[in-house]
Amino acid sequence: MNKYLIFRTDRIGDFLVSAVLIKSIKDSDASSHITLIASPKNYNYIKNFKLVDKVLLLKPNFINKISIILKLCKESFNTIILHDNKKRSHFISSFIKKKIKISINDIKDKTHLDILKEVLKKLNLSLSESHLDIFEDREIYKFNYSNFVQFHFDEKWIYSKYISSFVNIEPNANELANFIDLIQKKVNKKVIITTGKNAPSILEESIKLCKNENLIYLKDLSFEKLENVVLNSDLLISCHGAISHVASAKKIKQIDIIDSSYPYSKWTRH
């Protein structure tokens, strides 16, 4: 058995980039066993992801770090991959027995897919087009609707809730309501509106102002259910995030809004 330890102690979207790497390893190395170190933000999602054999939760406290180190010191890994490049991950990995240690900090000025290719090259493995479909073995549940556009409105649209150095694109309630109505008229399909765990208050206010009956508002969705909406949609409109990677994996058309200061081309094939 070839044992791999991968650190992804950040968010769901970051893990979905790593999932391409994991799928490449799994498809190319039949004896591979993947252990992934997750954060509280992505742990519950990752532990239900079939590509990963074992998931350990890293909590933001020193005692938990020591507990993780003691647990992992009992094992020996062929390869450790620091895909999150966090200081905590470098610290923990320094105590663990391994043959190869790969840090993406050593791979500079590359797109995220190029970084994956470089990591795989160090392992004498390669990336193929099929590895980009990380949901190939994922069950797509029967959905109540078809032939629809998904509009995802979460905290990334709200200036004070996200990155204050980004351009302020936050609409007022009337602007947002008009925008949603225009989307529906333009595509002449149902528009399913989704949001994050904590829906911005402006969203519900705007939906009440909308004059269109072909709107469906779904809230309080787990990421698994949100993922299923994306996989059934004809088009996704969102600010760049985890669901952008879901749409990209299955080649769902998308309008992916991202700040002009951000190196968009570094992300994925979309």
Q: Highest mean pLDDT range out of 13-27, 94-108, 123-137?
A: 13-27
Instruction: List beta partners, residue 239.
Output: 257
| Sheet hosting strand 148-152, strand order edge to edge | 215-218, 190-194, 148-152, 235-239, 253-257
Mean pLDDT rounded to a whole number for the chain? 92
> What's the pLDDT at 107?
75
> What's the pLDDT at 270?
46
pLDDT grade, residue 105 (50/70/90)?
Answer: confident
Residue 108: exposure state from Cβ atoms within 10 A (0-12, 13-18, ≥19): exposed
Largest Cα–Cα separation, the chain = 62
Q: For residue range 188-206, what is the model confidence (pLDDT) as tens digits? A: 999 999 999 889 999 999 9
> What's the pLDDT at 151?
98
- pLDDT at 9 exceeding the cut of 50: yes
- pLDDT at 18 exceeding the cut of 70: yes
> What's the pLDDT at 269?
54
Q: For residue range 33-65, what is the model confidence (pLDDT) as tens digits? A: 999 999 999 999 999 898 999 999 999 999 999
Instruction: List beta partners, residue 79.
Output: 4, 100
Q: For residue range 75-101, what is the model confidence (pLDDT) as tens digits? A: 999 999 999 999 999 999 999 999 999
| Lowest model confidence (mean pLDDT) among 25-39, 80-94, 140-154 | 140-154
Strands 54-57 and 148-152: unpaired
- pLDDT at 164 exceeding the cut of 90: no
- pLDDT at 23 exceeding the cut of 90: yes
- pLDDT at 137 exceeding the cut of 70: yes
Residue 101: exposure state from Cβ atoms within 10 A (0-12, 13-18, ≥19): middle
- pLDDT at 69 exceeding the cut of 60: yes
